[in-house]
Amino acid sequence: MDNEPVILAIGRIERALSRIESANRTKKTEIDPALAERHEALKAELKQAIETIDGLIERRER
C-alpha cells in the first residue's frame, strides 16, 4: 500500500486547520453575519470532507 498521498493530504488539512485556528484567535470587534454563516457552512463542509477521508483510509487499511 502506498499511503503517501493520504499522508500528504492529512498534512495539508492539518496546516489549513492550524491557519484557521490562528486566524480565529485574533480579536474581532464586529462579526459580519454573512461571514459567520459562510464560516459555519465551510466548517460543516470540512467536517464532511474529513469524514470521507477517514472512510477512505479505513477501507484502504482493511
- pLDDT score, position 45: 93
Model confidence pLDDT, tens digit, residues 12-41: 888 888 888 887 776 666 778 888 899 899
Which residue do the cell numbers 459567520 mark? 36
Give the pLDDT of residue 10: 85
- The predicted pLDDT at position 38 comes to 92
Cβ distance 6 to 60 under 8 Å? Answer: yes
Give the model confidence (pLDDT) of 36-55 as tens digits.
899 899 999 999 998 999 88
